[in-house]
Amino acid sequence: MKRRQFLESAGAGALLTGGVLSGCGKQSSEGASQATASQQKFNWKMVTTWQKNFPGLGTAANLLAQLVGEMSGGRLNIKVYGANELVPPLEIFDAVTGGTAEMGHTSAYYWKGKIPEAQFFSTVPFGMTALEMNAWLYYGGGMELWRKMYAPHGLIPVAAGNSGVQMGGWFNREINTVEDLQGLKMRIPGLGGEVLRRAGGTPVGMPGTEIFTSLESGVIDATEWVGPWNDMAKALYKVAKYYYYPGWHEPGTTMECMINQAAFETLPADLQSIVMTACKAVNLDMLSEFTARNNQALQTLVHEHNVQLREFPKPVLDKLRAISIEVVEELARENEQAALVYQSYRQFQQQVLAWHDISERAYLNVRGG
């Protein structure tokens, strides 16, 4: 029963009605098949949107493969491919759907062209934090909806990492008023990009691998990436002067492990549980590591690289928030699925806000130094 509950909370509930995990009343044949299954080895490929070994993101994919390998005693071996090693970084979805790879490590907002509502499972401007996202996904109905959206594509999504609140980004000029956003060419994905467009800017979509040279050559005026730790690793402080906060557009971005459903169903039950457990471990590990390393990296950026830290002016944030509400509500009207996800997301955010106003926010306000 415990395993059943865990798999359900990890979003694998629908599988429990399938053949692999059923078997009630077939104890002898189940025992025999498990003995056979326990000897079988699986070799999987995991494609990722990240550069191989990139701090936090690439290393999270490595950790996921490592944990699965260790917990399965080598029965499920996952080879990790960095961006462009097997497929381009934004072709992960097709690669896993088509079976080129059994797994992918990426983030759902990259698939907005295929599944608009997938963006809710990544992050939403002025939306939920990491703590709130995990609560919604695991215990607020979010995972069930996510699985439902990916099922027609033969994919099983699993939460497998969170960046926490990101930074607003790197700018080669100061943003003092809403007018300063006019004509701003900025690399910013997902819904945040649409918000910038309506605020007068020009959002540019590109994978992380192209950001540095694009900013250096002036193809873009600004970029967001993740936060101090990742941004320092990309040396973005060398090509832009001002570093803005907060990351209104990505307040707690969930990374996803997407799994080819047919491949998953060939795994015996214990390996399925191991994959789900490893994803949950990585989900916690990434957030913990980002929190620890971001604060170290911020000190280095400010004190050693003389980065100019700037807070977005309140009128700019007020404008972006107002546009964000419009953009998210429009997304909800795109199709029935999006409406369903939006309703669940919005209701959860409103409810958790009431709780966090008197817990997280109230506490941080009174904690002081």
**Least distance CB 359 / Ca ion (angstroms):** 27
Handedness of CA 307, 311, 312, 313 (dihedral sign): negative
What 8-state DSSP symbol labels residue 237? G
Q: Name the residue nearer to Ca ion (CB basis): 99 or 113.
A: 113
Residues 209-238 binding Ca ion (CB under 5 A) are: 224
Amino acid at 312: F
Tokens of 64: 């996921």
In whole angstroms, the minimum distance from the beta carbon of 259 to Ca ion comes to: 24
Closest CB to Ca ion among residues 211, 352: 211
Query: Do 294 and 162 meet the contact criterion of CB atoms below 8 Å apart?
Result: no
Q: How far is the CB of 226 from Ca ion (least distance, A)?
A: 5
Query: Pattern of binders to Ca ion over 96-115, x per CB under 5 A?
Result: --------------------
Q: Nearer to Ca ion by C-beta: 225 or 342? A: 225
Cβ closer to Ca ion: 117 or 224?
Answer: 224
CB 113, min distance to Ca ion, A: 18
In terms of CB distance, is 226 or 267 closer to Ca ion?
226
Q: Which is nearer to Ca ion, 132 or 250 (CB)?
A: 250
Answer yes or no: are the C-beta atoms of 283 and 159 closer than 8 Å.
yes
The token duo for 140 is 């607020």
Report the C-alpha gap between 105 and 96 in whole angstroms.
10
Instruction: Tell me how many residues contact Ca ion (CB under 5 A).
Output: 3
Pick 166 or 349: Cβ nearer Ca ion: 166
The letter for the amino acid at 168 is: G
Q: What's the closest the beta carbon of residue 90 comes to Ca ion, in angstroms?
A: 14
CB 106, CB 91: distance < 8 Å: no
> Quick one: DSSP state of residue 312?
P
Angle between helices 142-150 and 130-139 (to 10 degrees): 70
| Binding positions for Ca ion, 233-272, rule CB under 5 A | 250
Minimum distance of Ca ion from residue 169's CB (angstroms): 8
Q: How many helices (H) and strands (E) does the chain have?
A: 14, 11
Q: Hey, which residues between 146 and 175 contact Ca ion (CB under 5 A)? A: 166
What's the token pair of residue 366?
């009174």
Q: Do 165 and 246 contact (CB within 8 A), yes or no? A: yes
Q: Which residues of 264-291 are buried (b: 16+ CB within 10 A; e: fewer)?
A: beebbbbbbbbbbbbbbbbbebbbebbb
Residue closest to 226 by CA, chosen among 194, 195, 252? 252
What is the nearest approach in angstroms of Ca ion to the Cβ of residue 255?
11
| Minimal distance, residue 224 CB to Ca ion, in Å | 5
Q: Rounded to an integer, what distance in angstroms lies between the CA atom of residue 355 and that of residue 359?
A: 6
Shortest Å distance, C-beta 203 to Ca ion: 12
Q: Which is nearer to Ca ion, 57 or 68 (CB)?
A: 57
Which residue, 51 or 166, is less far from Ca ion as judged by CB?
A: 166
Q: Which helix (H) or strand (E) holds 336?
A: helix 336-357
CB-based contact 263:97 (threshold 8 Å):
no
Task: Name the residues that contact Ca ion, by CB under 5 A.
Answer: 166, 224, 250
